[in-house]
Amino acid sequence: MDFSLTDDQKQLRDTFARFCDERIRPRAEAIDEAKAFPREMFAELAELGLFGLRYPELLGGVGLDLLSFCLAIAEIARGSLSLAASASMQSVMGTHFLYAYGDAEIHETLLAPAIRGEKIGTICITEPNAGSDLSSIATSAEKNGDGYSLNGQKTWITSAPVADFFTVFARAGEERKLTVFLVEKGTPGLRVGRTIEKMGCWASPTSEVFFDNCVVPESRRLGEVGEGERALRKLLSGVRILTGALAIGVARAALDDALAYAADRKQFGKPISRFQAIQTHLAEMGTDLEAATHLVHYAAWLKDTGQPHARESAMAKLFATERAVNICDKATRVLGSYGYAMEFAAQRYLRDIRFTLYGGGTSEILKMVIAREMTT
């Protein structure tokens, strides 16, 4: 078995690692404290080609595999999970359905500009009473002449306050099955509601979105009526792997900071990295990070090579996110009281990392998925 990366993958990873070290990390605290969408950094990621890594050259993309994207996004998350979360939405879920089901006009006027960072997209799935349970989604799309009238409420919508277009899941047709619609900013009946205050990822705005007799033309239905759930589940495995990559990026930052602090901090005449209690923390953090990285990369490789990967993608997301939370917690313990101080980044890692526990399926849901895959 060959666990090595290709030269192209190494070059891509190194490019985004340099960008993280030179551009993101020096500004990470300011990005966080501004609690505003980081447009400047977002635009720079577009210039690096991040938003088109997964899309073909014909649309201005690069056409790389999922593993390559995971390498890039993990480096961005190492600098700022807020920026990485918004970038992930733009690169995958916020634009995927436009690419997969949009016509040439949608590709030209919305998808291509999104790849260039000129327009921002998001996806609207979650509702106040519908999270993991897709069957509880209540937003409706009633046939209305040559289009549809959307009514309902969505919540926890990443990038909603700055989005130029929304991919919306609603129930349509006689069987009331999930169907995907494209709604552009400024459409009558579309309203972005309150911004949700979060404990972490402060610079990734998250809001409610309302649809009140929002008329969407037939040309803005993405895919066939009732095809939404199947299409979403097909995408979900990749989203889980991607979320695992976000987690290992933050965990790497936490471990690097803990190692640096332990080498610099002296007590009783020697660096604390020489004390067994600290060494235990560092060893566990390093082992967990290595294992999580391999599992995420393996799941991405399975998907890229067209092999079954539903179980492995769930395992990768479950293990990487839970271990990353533990790594970030241990980092604050290594730093001691400074791990509780806002002047050190460790507190930000600990706040931000919990974001990865929820998107793409909670740990509890993932365990059900894994068990089902193992027993059927």
DSSP-assigned states of every residue in 167-216 = EEEEEETTTTEEEEEEEETT-TTEEEEEEPP-SS-TTS-EEEEEEEEEEE
The pLDDT value given to residue 248: 98
Give, in order, the Cα–Cα distances in Å from 9 to each of 14, 18, 50, 184, 252: 9, 14, 13, 35, 18
Closest CA to 255 of 153, 332, 370, 192: 332
Closest CA to 42 of 2, 78, 90, 92: 90
Q: What are the phi and psi torsion angles at 123 (to 5°)?
A: -125, 140
Q: Which helix (H) or strand (E) holds 74?
A: helix 66-79
Degrees, nearest 5: CA angle 363-283-355: 30
Per-residue pLDDT of the chain (376 residues; tens, 9 = 90+): 788 999 999 999 999 999 999 999 999 999 999 999 999 999 999 999 999 999 999 999 999 999 999 999 999 999 999 999 999 999 999 999 999 999 999 999 999 999 999 999 999 999 999 988 899 999 999 999 999 999 999 999 999 999 999 999 999 999 999 999 999 999 999 999 999 999 999 999 999 999 999 999 999 999 999 999 999 999 999 999 999 999 999 999 999 999 999 999 999 999 999 999 999 999 999 999 999 999 999 999 999 999 999 999 999 999 999 999 999 999 999 999 999 999 999 999 999 999 999 989 999 999 999 999 999 8
DSSP state of 362: -
How much is the pTM? 0.96
Instruction: Spell out the alpha helix ranges (H) of 265-355.
Output: 276-304, 310-335, 346-352
Which residues, 6+ apart, have CB-to-CB distance to 195 below 8 Å?
Answer: 161, 205, 206, 207
Tokens of residue 122, six digits? 């998001």
The pLDDT value given to residue 131: 87
The pLDDT value given to residue 15: 98
DSSP state of 304: H
The C-alpha torsion from 371 through 158 and 167 to 246, rounded to 10°, is -50
